[in-house]
Structure 1
Amino acid sequence: MSERFGMKSYMKGAALLTIAALIVKVLSAIYRVPFQNLVGDEGFYIYQQVYPIISIFVVWTSSGFAVAISKMLADNDCILDPLERNQKRSSTMRIVFRYLTVLSLLFFAVLFGGAEILAQLMGDTQLAPLIRTGSFIVLVMPALAILKGGFQSRGIMEPIAYAQVLEQAVRVSVILAGTFIIMTTTKSLYSAGQMAIIGTVIGEVVGFLLLAFIFKKRFGLFKDKKQQQRIESFPVIKEVTLLSLSVSMSGLLLLGYQLVDSFTIYSLLIEGGMEQTIAKETKGIYDRGQPLVQLGVVIASSLSLAIVPLVAHMNKKQEGRSAIPFIQLTYRASVLFGWAASLGLILIMPYINAMLFKTDALSEVLMIYVLQIVPLSIILTFTAILQGYGKLKKPALFLIVGFILKIILNVLTINLFGVLGAAIANNLGLLFTALMLVFYLKKMTAIQLAPASFYKKIGVASFSMAAVILVWLQFVPTLLNQYLSPRFVAVIASLTAVCLGAFVMITVIAKLRVLAEKEWYLLPFGRRMAVYQLWLNRKK
């Protein structure tokens, strides 16, 4: 009875953590729009140059070390003797904390002391103060990872969910409020960028303080040294490092690609003869694609968060239903929603670009940029599936090779095509990784991920949506241009096209039964789609 209650509590906490993670991702994408509107493309470039460096440590801590620590502590809890279990748990946490402290001090020294060098490598020495400010975030890393891992290992997810939402809310509030004050007073773009970095640091600190308060209230922060047991440090350090990198690899992937762009795009554009201000604005416009991609992969992110425990549970079962049907459903859902999001954004890009960011500049580049939503959706879900199977090395290798491919292609293509080359490099690097993951999983499980009819039905739905949107956009803007401002026209055209396109896509998908009703019920928020599909295909 207690076991069932424990599992029920755990699943409830996991669901809450999934919702919190989605809220954080949506907030992370949305705040960039008002921020860009406040600082313009040059100001957006300034922030986006430093953002990947700082966020890599945030992601590594929250979804890497925390998960690795929780797994190690959960494995430790299998020890039957309570005294030995408590002693080993205490010793493990002490070793990991000391290791992370050394690691964070090392990273802090590199970022703070090497800020000038990093800024020079990016081609813009004025970025050094922003890098120094952001370096303070790594000092929170050890305690934050230990606290999150401690909660997760006990199956207590609620505090982590609350902390994630709170830290993101504080971060966004500080960024937007601080930037507004700076832009209405000094109007310094680099100061506004520094304020955005300060907001990220403050958000992490607030999240840590909340977790520390809850942890101390429940368990107490300090353990009696008599309860500690001497264990070998190196195996613990090795395990937590490899596991944290493997677990957070897919989350670090997009940030890694952005980091490559930070070190290559601006400097290569300058080398190609572009004037500095124009190069900064061009990079800033290119960076507009990032929040669009983040929103486009929200569904894939929710699938990846939900699929890991499911696949792991099904894989351990000796009898009953295997994980194969869930893997097939996850693949089809990620391709379906990833492609629908990509195609929709491509069709309305000039209008959504102007609606969100004031101008429709470089819309053709952003059309290519958002294509990465499809391979990225597959990568997020497939790394999660393979994680559920306990396969971490091969996926990590595929991600690293794709990352190296991105670096090489950036250097080769930016000189030829400008920022369009960087967008192409993104797509090719991610596509390589996605294909390798698909081939590896198919070889491992010998399954057919989707029948040919699935792709044909998506093709029909895509053609229907494209036809309706293109016809709609031929008339609406022309009709409204004589009465409204260009940006207001873009707002109306974008929102109406999104609603119309989504309705057509959903209706055709439901009519053709691309996914069965029982499959919709298994997806996040799929219940209403199942009901609509049943109503649409009812026998008259």
Structure 2
Amino acid sequence: MSETEAQTTKKRTKKDDYIVQGSILAAAAVLTKIIGVVYRIPLTNILGDEGNGFYGYAYQVYAIALMISSFSLPTAVSKLVSIRLAKRQRRNAFRAFICSLAFAIGVGLFISLTIFLGAGLISTHLMKSPLSVYALRVLAPGLLIVAVMAVIRGYFQGMGTMLPTAISQIIEQVFNAVISIVGASVLFGIGTKAGEKSGEELLGPAYGAAGSTLGTVVGSLSGLLFLLFVIFLYKNVIRKQLKRDRTQNVESYSFLLKALLLTAIPVVFSTAVYNINQIIDLTIFNHVMESQGYVEKEYMALQGIYTGKYDTLINVPMAIANALGTSLVPSLTAVVTAGTKKQVHSKINQTLRLTMVIAIPSCIGYFVLASPIMVLLYNDSSATPAHLLMAGAIVVVLYGLSSVTNSILHGLNYMTSPAKNAAAALGIHLVAFVLMMTVFKMNVYALVGGNIVFALAMSILNLLKIRKVSGFKIDFVSTFGKPFAAAAVMGIVTFGVFRLFDTLIGGRVIPVCISLIVAILVYAVVMLKIGTLSEDDILDLPMGGRILRISKKFHLLPAVKVEE
């Protein structure tokens, strides 16, 4: 590599480090989601659809509490820390971290106790699922653990490194997987014996669900311990940085707490709505299904298919959009502060395109291979799980788009806009969902339909706001058109390859695995050949220089027209 190329690469790496950091976080997120899918296979077999229903319902309540206590904190803390580090105020950045930590402990402890003590009331009267109480009580302590972990992750993200977050996520998921399977297996047996004595046939699945949630808590604790270990390793470095800091204006904790709340509350609201729409949907679903003559075993089994199979798969590609959004916020904030409008537009455009490059082929892949994937992972050849995945495949695109546009608005310093848009989208979604359940009687498919309506409304509102406040106009051809064209070719070829190998070889594994490998290769070739990614985009990726050289060597990039 020449000296000029080396300087260009170094400059590019510094300028667009958020993509590399986002890629690290995305890789970890996808790996954890894959682990999640893999361990859910034996877990689903242990719990059955009824047990998955209890687990899914309890976890939705847990997720709402988590949104309030924790999920806004990494974004809020990273924003507070990155702003102060940009001004070379390391002492104030560390004080922001300490203030956030104290806040997280207080709020996390309060919400943990509230959920634990109120689990019976919530499960019986609100959820219409009394036996979910066991899983909910086991999950409650995890709220405090995750709140503390969220602040530490936000501190590292604010300093521009996603590595501690990424590693802690992997450790967390590994422990989660092992403990969930063991806990579910042991407690399912205990619950079954207790159910035989009491005459409650669903006690086994309910106990099993509680055992599986134990993995969530232990996994969170393992992730927190790793992050505390990293803080311990870097304590001397942090201490030296604070000693060298000559900042005259030392911010008070009361000022920092106010700044944290003003940053976190809008994020809390917008992210909470993402989960509260799920718990509202499941509650309405249970009530309507009961009024339509279904018994608890029937509607909890359908709910178990939705939460345990469909939702688990849908969340895998969405993790990439969430990771890119997480790394974008501090980066875009810095560009908005010191950059030009052109640089802001370029960063927004690139983030949207990279998100769609992943989301659109995932959507097409799920649609084409829905039934084979369900058979491969869950040995379930029934129509409902496959049809759910086919109907909801578009959710990958819409939720990915809504998630990353949320982050763009946060990076543009419009913190309350996603919250307002989420409230509007929730209202639209609830009207549509109730109509689907009561008028059209769509049964479990209404849950998927509600997801589509909410994410679509959220995406449109966010994009309109981004255009209004920044002047950015989305390029539909490069953002959606080219990835869809490449994904459509991929889908046709993949379907043909699966049919061929299913006929010639058969079985659950080989036809699907070969089809997925072919899908990745075909999509990559077509995507590059039609110019979905520019050379700059490729160079901004991890190992971008190597990828670009390989692409040129095999003539995978569009031919450059030479003017005569």
In the superposition, the TM-score normalised over structure 2's length comes to 0.79
Shift of 1:319: 6.1
Post-superposition Cα deviations, 1:445-491, rounded to whole Å, max 9, x if no partner, equal 333321547655445434423333343444443445xxx6xxxx343
After superposition, residues 96-175 of structure 1 pair within 5 angstroms as: 96=100, 99-120=103-124, 121-140=126-145, 143-149=148-154, 151=156, 158-175=163-180
Residues 378 and 434 in structure 1, CA contact (< 8 A), matched pair in contact too: yes
Give the match for residue 443 of structure 2.
Answer: 418
- Aligned in 2, Cα 1:402/1:498: closer, same or farther, shift over 3 Å? same
After superposition, residues 13-162 of structure 1 pair within 5 angstroms as: 19-58=27-66, 63-72=71-80, 96=100, 99-120=103-124, 121-140=126-145, 143-149=148-154, 151=156, 158-162=163-167
- Aligned in 2, Cα 1:253/1:150: closer, same or farther, shift over 3 Å? same
- What SS does structure 2 have at the residue aligned with 1:417? coil
Give the match for residue 392 of structure 2.
Answer: 369
Which of 454, 467, 471 aligns to 1:442? It is 467
- Aligned in 2, Cα 1:505/1:211: closer, same or farther, shift over 3 Å? closer
Give the match for residue 403 of structure 1.
Answer: 426
After superposition, residues 300-339 of structure 1 pair within 5 angstroms as: 300-318=321-339, 322-339=343-360
Post-superposition Cα deviations, 1:265-322, rounded to whole Å, max 9, x if no partner, equal 2332222212322212111112211121111223323432343343233333356961
- Aligned in 2, Cα 1:528/1:275: closer, same or farther, shift over 3 Å? farther
Aligned length: 517
1:491 aligns to 2:509 (yes or no): yes
- Aligned in 2, Cα 1:311/1:105: closer, same or farther, shift over 3 Å? closer
Shift of 1:493: 3.2
Residues 112 and 143 in structure 2, CA contact (< 8 A), matched pair in contact too: yes
Residues 360 and 484 in structure 2, CA contact (< 8 A), matched pair in contact too: no
Post-superposition Cα deviations, 1:53-78, rounded to whole Å, max 9, x if no partner, equal 22344466554224424544565678
* Higher mean C-alpha displacement, 212-221 vs 507-516: 212-221
Q: In structure 2, what residue type is equivalent to 1:394?
A: S
- Aligned in 2, Cα 1:73/1:499: closer, same or farther, shift over 3 Å? closer
Q: Give the RMSD, CA atoms, in angstroms.
A: 3.7
Residues 26 and 294 in structure 1, CA contact (< 8 A), matched pair in contact too: no
Cα distance in 1 for residues equivalent to 2:83 and 2:532:
41
Residues 60 and 244 in structure 1, CA contact (< 8 A), matched pair in contact too: no
Shift of 1:32: 2.3
- Aligned in 2, Cα 1:282/1:514: closer, same or farther, shift over 3 Å? same
Shift of 1:523: 3.8
Which of 283, 288, 292 aligns to 1:263? It is 283
Cα distance in 2 for residues equivalent to 1:494 and 1:44:
25
- Aligned in 2, Cα 1:128/1:521: closer, same or farther, shift over 3 Å? same
- Aligned in 2, Cα 1:62/1:522: closer, same or farther, shift over 3 Å? farther
1:189 aligns to 2:212 (yes or no): no
Give the match for residue 512 of structure 1.
Answer: 530
Give the match for residue 299 of structure 2.
Answer: 279
Cα distance in 1 for residues equivalent to 2:490 and 2:148:
49
- Aligned in 2, Cα 1:195/1:78: closer, same or farther, shift over 3 Å? same
Shift of 1:373: 0.7
- Aligned in 2, Cα 1:338/1:249: closer, same or farther, shift over 3 Å? farther
Residues 59 and 248 in structure 1, CA contact (< 8 A), matched pair in contact too: yes
Shift of 1:433: 0.4
- Aligned in 2, Cα 1:319/1:103: closer, same or farther, shift over 3 Å? closer
Residues 171 and 200 in structure 1, CA contact (< 8 A), matched pair in contact too: yes
Which of 483, 494, 501 aligns to 2:519? It is 501
Cα distance in 1 for residues equivalent to 2:348 and 2:86:
29
- Aligned in 2, Cα 1:41/1:461: closer, same or farther, shift over 3 Å? same
Residues 30 and 317 in structure 2, CA contact (< 8 A), matched pair in contact too: no
Gapped regions of structure 1 (runs ≥ 5): 223-228
In the superposition, the TM-score normalised over structure 1's length comes to 0.82
Q: Percent identity?
A: 21
Q: In structure 2, what residue type is equivalent to 1:165?
A: I
Which of 185, 198, 212 aligns to 2:214? It is 198
Cα distance in 1 for residues equivalent to 2:137 and 2:43:
21
